[in-house]
Amino acid sequence: MGQEEINNSDTICAIATAPGGALGIIRISGPRAFEAVSAICALRCDAVGANTSHYARIIEHDAVMLQHQTIIDETLVTVFRAPHSYTGEDSVEISCHGSRYILNKVLELLVQHGCRMANPGEYTMRAYLNGKLDLSQAEAVADLIASSNQATHQMAMSQLRGGISSKLSQLREQLLKLTSLLELELDFSDHEDLEFADRSELLSLAKNIDIHIARLAKSFETGQAIKQGISVAIVGKTNVGKSTLLNRLLKDDRAIVSDIHGTTRDTIEDTIDINGITFRFIDTAGIRQTTDTIEQIGIDRTYAAIAKARIVIWMVDKEPTQEELDKISFITENKKLIIVRNKIDKAGNTPFTIVKVPLVEISAKHNQNIDQLEQTIYQAADIPTLSDTDIVVTNARHHDALVRAQKHLQRVLDGLHNQLSGDLLSEDLRLTLDTLAEITGGQITPNEVLGNIFKHFCVGK
């Protein structure tokens, strides 16, 4: 959606439902919504009560012989009157039968009667522009539609209900208090003894705000992990049963399993949910010395997968070699490591101890202790249990604004430490406020920025 294409005086229409269902909903919004719908069915939208539903036949009139008409569908038409609609404008929703032909025909008729096809996210953008939602809530709508498990749903719902907005308005109040205290200090600047008392109060107030912004910014890590799925690389030497484990976790024959060493050549990824959180498992090529060029490329990819993963499962079988065990230490610091000893159904058992790393003994092939492994993986992810009131930042734009706000606030803190005068600090305070306001949209008006945010939505929302 480019800058010039945003025209809010148009009446827009789109299919709001995914194809293939028994019903299909068409949404119409804008100043001529009632007129356009009334032109294609016998319902006088402007004469019916607000927020009421009505049975109506959609009718196409022959362009030449007007008395010739074709019934396109029998539908339910719901009329929403401004400002009590999703967009804040006059809006209509037509529930048709879910046929592609019917839906496209109805759209075609609406366009003939003055509507235009909506751009992605245009309804939600209008809702924002009409003050029905702030920008972070509008963005939560897209997240809500995309949510695929309990955790992503909960985060989107909390944001939609204004979680981050109310947290930010608390911070805003604190920043305004700081600003007014600074002004007060300026007014009394000739009383030298007063200044020091005020400064310590100012400093503790600023520090407190900083802690809260930092906490929000930090929550983005969790937010990202939950939104994108937590990556778990399954690595180890060849033939230990990595692909068997992947298949077991996915409950699907996703990867080829064989007793030939070096079966897996490329990384294979898929996701499962554990306790409502998505984990992305990556099966990798077994690590061994090889002269095979293709296999070596696969092994290089294994190292790349380790580097990207948050959790690494290092798999050994019943008889791990010392060399294998020594390799464990090369896995870098920031990784959560889990050692999995596979094939416990087989005889033989080389004892080994590994300090401070969870060890889970399983049989991937015979489905032993897989639940226990899943719970160990879940614990390793270290996801804080989210309550309804927890605010988790999931949006990169919000995170970016928080980080920039923190930098401005840091300058305020430095200035307070260095006894800079209030007028020098107030500019950075104002920047902190403005930057935080970007998140809910207070400072954003350019169409370009809005277009960029809403273009990732689906059409019809």
Binding site for ligand GTP (CB under 6 A): 238-244, 257-259, 261-264, 285-286, 342-343, 345-346, 363-366
Considering the rule CB under 5 A, would residue 75 count as an interface residue with Mg ion? Answer: no
> DSSP strand E in 275-388: where?
277-283, 311-316, 336-341, 359-361
Selection from Mg ion, ligand GTP, none that 241 binds (CB < 5 to 8 A by kind) is ligand GTP
- Per the DSSP assignment, residues forming a β-bridge with 41 are 58
**Stretch of 44-52, 55-63, 141-149, 240-248 lying at the interface with Mg ion (CB under 5 A):** 240-248
Q: How many residues does the chain have?
A: 461
> DSSP strand E in 126-237: where?
230-236
Tokens of 140: 């939560």
**How far, in Å, CA of 125 to CA of 118, rounded?**
11
Considering the rule CB under 5 A, would residue 264 count as an interface residue with Mg ion? Answer: yes
- Cβ proximity to Mg ion: between 147 and 238 the closer is 238
Stretch (H or E) spanning 272: strand 268-274
- Cβ proximity to ligand GTP: between 179 and 342 the closer is 342
Least separation in angstroms between residue 304's CB and Mg ion is 17
**How far, in Å, CA of 322 to CA of 399, rounded?**
44
- Cβ proximity to Mg ion: between 263 and 290 the closer is 263
Looking at residue 306, its amino acid is I
Q: Which residues contact 180 (CB under 8 A, 6 or more apart)?
A: none
Would you list the DSSP string of 15-81? E-S-TTSSEEEEEEESTTHHHHHHHHBS--GGGSPTTEEEEEEEEEE-SSSTT-EEEEEEEEEEEE-
Least separation in angstroms between residue 280's CB and ligand GTP is 18
Considering the rule CB under 5 A, would residue 243 count as an interface residue with Mg ion? Answer: yes
**Stretch of 94-102, 208-216, 239-247, 363-371 lying at the interface with Mg ion (CB under 5 A):** 239-247
Selection from ligand GTP, Mg ion, none that 244 binds (CB < 5 to 8 A by kind) is ligand GTP
DSSP 331: S
- Cβ proximity to ligand GTP: between 320 and 422 the closer is 320
Least separation in angstroms between residue 300's CB and ligand GTP is 14
Site for Mg ion (CB under 5 A): how many residues?
A: 4
Considering the rule CB under 5 A, would residue 239 count as an interface residue with Mg ion? Answer: no
**How far, in Å, CA of 131 to CA of 87, rounded?**
9
- Cβ proximity to ligand GTP: between 221 and 345 the closer is 345
The site string for Mg ion over 197-236 (x = CB under 5 A, - otherwise) reads ----------------------------------------
- Cβ proximity to ligand GTP: between 346 and 417 the closer is 346
Backbone angles phi, psi at 97, to 5 degrees: -70, 150
- Per the rule left: phi > 0, alpha: psi between -120 and 50, beta: everything else, 52 is beta
- Cβ proximity to ligand GTP: between 192 and 259 the closer is 259
**Stretch of 195-203, 237-245, 402-410, 413-421 lying at the interface with Mg ion (CB under 5 A):** 237-245
Least separation in angstroms between residue 242's CB and Mg ion is 5
Site residues (vs Mg ion, CB under 5 A): 242-243, 263-264
